[in-house]
Structure 1
Amino acid sequence: MKQPGTRHKARRRAVDLLFEAEAKKVSPAQLVAERREYVRSDESVGSIHDYTATVINGLADDQNQIDAVISSYLREWTLERLPAVDRAIMRLATWELFNSLDVDTIVVVDEAVELAKELSTDDSPAFVNGVLAKIAELAPQVRAAASAEPRPSGDAE
């Protein structure tokens, strides 16, 4: 069996943190910041990989839009009715599809399906794959639009 890579572990930790934040009704970005501070005094907590933090912080900024996109592709389901772990996996993957320019869309979908196999129900991998395959079709347009947006210059106007 192939050993999971660093990015896979970072994604899995991101899903764990998203799940925990939702259960505790706290911001996932706040949870990451607290863990990064806490690990300084207690290494048993485990450090937060930079990619995990990047994904969590990006998702925290874009969660309403991400949730709207996911919801628009759900048939006979609502986002709230999905298992919490499936929501976390799809939020993570959708954010990556739209923002991680260094990761192919097929890799993002495959990783999400693997996480669903590891963490969720027997039906989840196929469900996650179906929803994300549709969202992946949007990824090139979203990435192109994001790269065409003017970047803030930092100058006050």
Structure 2
Amino acid sequence: MSGTQKKRLGARHKARKRAVDLLFEAEARDTDPIDLAADRVALALTDDQVAPVPPYTRTLVRGVAEHLDELDQLIADHLHEWTLARLPAVDRAILRIAAWELFHATDVPPVVAVDEAVELAKQLSTDDDSPAFVNGVLGQLVAVADQVRAAAAATSVHAVEKSDGPDRSGSQQ
């Protein structure tokens, strides 16, 4: 097995795959993915037939759930002649995870987020064109990731500056 293959089968890859599974299941069951992940964490503690939920899986599920509208809009803006609803559910989950990593995970290089997503599409998608499609969409998102992160940082700084203003009594905080 080459070094690249070993890396792909590492803890983060397994956590991403589990996150895809949970996001896919939550969408199919129309349930909250954060609650579903919490249920699986609890179940794994009492049932040794249920695999533990890695911390990074929980991070991904929470991140995607908390930023779902933003991520879906960013993905949809780069689909060209497709809609998010038209994509296979597994591809939606893969794109959402990779987009969250591109825009919110400071410890994941963009090339890793894209490579992992393409690998997951190869493993999990039933459509032979999915890996290339996922790669193409994410390539476009990588191109705007720095701009989106900078805009988000500016918004955060502005929000902090507003909160540093006078309190209701007129005295400085």
Selected match of 2:151 from 115, 133, 145: 145
1:91 maps onto 2:58 in alignment: no
Selected match of 2:10 from 5, 23, 37: 5
- What is the letter of the counterpart of residue 129 of structure 1? N
1:60 maps onto 2:65 in alignment: yes
Q: Which has the higher contact order (CA 8 A, sep 6+)?
A: 1
1:50 maps onto 2:70 in alignment: no
SS of 1:86's equivalent in the other structure is helix
Match of 1:107?
A: 112
SS of 1:106's equivalent in the other structure is helix
The alpha-carbon deviation at position 142 of structure 1 amounts to: 2.4
- What is the letter of the counterpart of residue 98 of structure 2? A
Within 2, Cα distance between the matches of 1:74 and 1:51?
Answer: 27
Match of 1:124?
A: 130
Match of 1:133?
A: 139
The alpha-carbon deviation at position 90 of structure 1 amounts to: 0.2
| TM-score, L = length of structure 2 | 0.84
The alpha-carbon deviation at position 39 of structure 1 amounts to: 1.4
SS of 1:75's equivalent in the other structure is coil
1:72 maps onto 2:77 in alignment: yes
- What is the letter of the counterpart of residue 124 of structure 2? L
- What is the letter of the counterpart of residue 141 of structure 1? Q
- What is the letter of the counterpart of residue 36 of structure 1? V
SS of 2:67's equivalent in the other structure is helix
Unaligned stretches of 5+ residues in structure 2? 168-173
Match of 2:171?
A: none
SS of 2:81's equivalent in the other structure is coil
Percent identity reads 55
SS of 2:45's equivalent in the other structure is coil
Within 2, Cα distance between the matches of 1:26 and 1:76?
Answer: 29
Match of 1:32?
A: 37
Bigger shift: 139-148 or 87-96?
Answer: 139-148
Within 2, Cα distance between the matches of 1:143 and 1:64?
Answer: 16
Q: CA RMSD in A?
A: 1.9
| TM-score, L = length of structure 1 | 0.92
Structure with max Cα Rg: 2
